[in-house]
């Protein structure tokens, strides 16, 4: 986890250095403060939205992981092949009826 944070921080630093250099090079002097202010407003303004989205995704992810719990007491985890199921039971578990 520490290595991942280090690499993310390194990538953000490299991105910021390149972005600021290019932004300074292509922006006319008279507009530099406006461009920097607009970029900063957008950049820092969307971060709370990202935090809210990330906060909403945590319960969704936990719910997705916990949704597997209903399978544990069922016979499904013990099935190793389709041959382990009787023919009519495999059709019923799939929600199909035998065609005759």
The secondary structure of 37-69, three-state, reads HHHHHHHHHCHHHHHHHHHHHHHHHHHHHHHHH
Mean pLDDT rounded to a whole number for the chain? 85
| pLDDT confidence of residue 100 | 47
| pLDDT confidence of residue 93 | 61
- Alpha-carbon distance of 97 to 88, in angstroms, equals 8
Band of pLDDT at residue 84, cut at 50, 70 and 90: confident
Q: Is this prediction's pTM over 0.75?
A: no
Q: Give 4-31 pLDDT, tens digit per residue.
A: 999 999 999 999 899 999 999 999 999 9
Tally: H helices and E strands in the chain: 4, 0
For residue 93 the two structure tokens come to 């578990």
Q: What are phi and psi of 75, to 5 degrees?
A: -75, -5
Band of pLDDT at residue 78, cut at 50, 70 and 90: confident
Residues 6+ apart with CB under 8 A from 32: 24
């Amino acid at each position: 986890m520490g290595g991942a944070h280090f690499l993310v921080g390194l990538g953000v630093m490299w991105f910021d250095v390149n972005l600021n250099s290019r932004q300074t090079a292509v922006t006319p002097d008279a507009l530099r403060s406006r461009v920097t202010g607009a970029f900063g407003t957008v950049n820092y303004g969307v971060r709370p939205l990202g935090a809210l989205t990330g906060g909403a995704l945590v319960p969704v992810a936990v719910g997705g992981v916990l949704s597997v719990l209903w399978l544990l007491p069922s016979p499904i985890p013990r099935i190793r092949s389709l041959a382990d199921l009787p023919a009519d039971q495999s059709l019923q578990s799939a929600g199909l009826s035998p065609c005759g």
